[in-house]
Amino acid sequence: MPWGWVAAATVASSLIGSDAASSAADTQAQATNLATDANSAASRAAIAENKRQFDASQKVLLDQYNQGRSDLAPYRGAGVGALNTLSSMLGVTPDQAAMQGPAPDQNSGYGMDPANIQAEIQSLQQQKAANTGPNGEVDPVFDSEIAKAQGQLSSINNYKATPAQPAGQPAPAASADFGSLNQRFQAGTFTPQKFTLADFWDDPVTKASYQSGLDLGQQGINNMAKARGSVNSGATLKALERFGTDYTGQQAAGSQARFVNDENNRYGRFNTDQNNAYSRFTNDQNTTYNRLSGLAGTGQTATNAGTTLGSNYAGSVANLNTGSGNTIGSILTNTAGNNANLITGNANARGAAAISGANSIAGGINNIANMYMGQQNLNNTLNRSGGNNINSFIPPNSYTSYNLYDPGNA
């Protein structure tokens, strides 16, 4: 074979080896690109799923909060009504607006019109979607503002404001019970009676026995006087007068004692009746107050429960935000690490392919150089020996001309 053909074959072989290494590197690069694209797509899908779960969880929390507020609304309303009535009965003019519980924030930045707030929420959600990155990354300010607007909307929907008094209209008349729980017990007045002659003659005992007793006493004195023969004497008249005075005095004293005893009994009954009336009055006042106070306390408990709902909702949303952020961060970190490893492996493979191709070409060049030098050495040897036929240097009985099966070589 001519030397040029050998050199050409060697060069072709080196180029084929180099091209094969380059082709393998290109194939690995394509595989790396596909793998990184698949990792990125999986990352975006995972972030989108995380966002879907976040939105669903946040909606569940908001629905629970709104349902809780709605469930507590009747108790808050009952408490407000009881507190208004109690305030009125205590003589305090209720501040209707203040009694409604916490009002929506006038300075929230979202106004007080539910329709406008709902439109703002939709606008924020659209802005959030438009500003979401390819890997699902989004500015947390959007979620914060959406939650704030939804809280304002919920507060407005659950707040039952008392209509303002129309201008120029007289204030409503005070209730008939206004200040009734501040009224004092109106005690009765006991008027003691003095014993009089009329009371003596009205005394049933006097009526029943006075005249008969007087007559019997006078009759006894007259009988004694008859026996002595001194019926109309001065001594007899004095005895009759003295008896009448003494007897009447005794009867009057007894009558007065009975009168005083009756007055004492009447005063005792009066005190008992007053104490009973005071107890009934106080019991009625306390019962009314305690019932209204208990109902107002129910409203306060419902208000506190609503406050707790709000705190729990805010804390849960904050935890959701934190958990979602950590999950997305982990997804992005893992994806970046995996892609970096793939790219590094591809770079290493390309470097190895480049080195292999260079080595193949360099080996081919070295082979050509060695072949060229061998040919030159051979040619120099032939020229020095005066022959141009390489066969002249082969010994007669060498393996190139010796045939064991030739009879002449036996």
10 with 135, same domain: the answer is: yes
Q: Which among 249, 267, 287 is the end of a domain?
A: 287
Q: Which among 232, 265, 287 is the end of a domain?
A: 287
The answer on pLDDT for 128 being more than 50 is yes
Question: pLDDT band at 401, cuts 50/70/90?
Answer: very low
Give the Cα separation of 209 and 275 in Å (integer): 39
125 with 253, same domain: the answer is: no
pLDDT, residue 161, reads 46
Query: Could you give the residue ranges of the DSSP H alpha helices within 136-233?
Result: 140-158, 197-202, 204-205, 211-228
352 with 283, same domain: the answer is: no
Is 404 part of a structural domain of the chain? no
Is 191 part of a structural domain of the chain? no
Distance of CA 22 to the CA centre of its chain: 63
Q: What is the mean pLDDT of the chain?
A: 81
271 with 299, same domain: the answer is: no
What is the residue whose two structure tokens read 């006075």? 210
Which has the higher per-residue pLDDT, 11 or 215? Answer: 215
Q: Tell me what percent of the residues of the chain surpass a pLDDT of 70.
A: 80
Lowest mean pLDDT among 51-65, 129-143, 222-236: 129-143
**Mean pLDDT calculated for residue range 176-195:** 89
Count: domains in the chain:
2
215 with 254, same domain: the answer is: yes
Give the Cα separation of 254 and 165 in Å (integer): 73
306 with 283, same domain: the answer is: no
283 with 309, same domain: the answer is: no
pLDDT, residue 110, reads 66
Is 310 part of a structural domain of the chain? yes
Is 168 part of a structural domain of the chain? no
Give the Cα separation of 394 and 376 in Å (integer): 19
**Mean pLDDT calculated for residue range 153-172:** 56
**Amino acid code (one letter) for 219:** Q
Is 395 part of a structural domain of the chain? no
Is 372 part of a structural domain of the chain? no
pLDDT, residue 389, reads 53
Q: Which of 226, 52, 233, 208 is nearest to 132 (CA)?
A: 52
The answer on pLDDT for 314 being more than 70 is yes
For the chain, how many helices (H) and strands (E)?
Answer: 7, 0
Q: Residues 52-75, buried b or exposed e (16+ Cβ, 10 A)?
A: eebeebbeebbeebbebbeebbeb
273 with 338, same domain: the answer is: no
Cβ neighbours of residue 61 under 8 Å, at least 6 residues apart?
Answer: 313, 316, 317, 320
Both tokens assigned to 42: 């999986």
* Element of type H or E holding 16: helix 3-89
Exposed (0-12), middle (13-18) or buried (19+): which is 341, by Cβ within 10 Å? middle
User: Are 79 and 299 within 8 A, CB to CB?
Assistant: yes
Both tokens assigned to 232: 């109309």
User: Are 43 and 135 within 8 A, CB to CB?
Assistant: yes
30 with 155, same domain: the answer is: yes
pLDDT, residue 405, reads 46
User: Are 183 and 96 within 8 A, CB to CB?
Assistant: no
Cβ neighbours of residue 185 under 8 Å, at least 6 residues apart?
Answer: 277, 278, 281, 282
260 with 283, same domain: the answer is: yes
Q: Residues 94-132, buried b or exposed e (16+ Cβ, 10 A)?
A: beeeebebeebeeebebebeeeebeebbeebeebbeeeb
**Amino acid code (one letter) for 45:** A
Give the Cα separation of 293 and 302 in Å (integer): 14
User: Are 30 and 347 within 8 A, CB to CB?
Assistant: no
The answer on pLDDT for 379 being more than 60 is yes
Q: Which of 59-63, 197-201, 347-351 has the highest mean pLDDT?
A: 197-201
77-92: pLDDT as tens digits: 888 888 888 888 888 8
Is 314 part of a structural domain of the chain? yes
* pTM for the model: 0.51
Domain that residue 142 falls in: 3-162+178-184+294-357
**Amino acid code (one letter) for 365:** I
127 with 60, same domain: the answer is: yes
Both tokens assigned to 155: 């507060």
Both tokens assigned to 331: 């997804």
Question: pLDDT band at 260, cuts 50/70/90?
Answer: very high
User: Are 77 and 160 within 8 A, CB to CB?
Assistant: yes
Is 272 part of a structural domain of the chain? yes
Q: Which among 357, 374, 390 is the end of a domain?
A: 357
Both tokens assigned to 32: 């790396």
pLDDT, residue 108, reads 62
The sign of the dihedral angle between the CA atoms of 113, 114, 117, 123 is negative
**Mean pLDDT calculated for residue range 321-338:** 88
135 with 212, same domain: the answer is: no
Give the Cα separation of 44 and 138 in Å (integer): 12
Both tokens assigned to 209: 């026995």
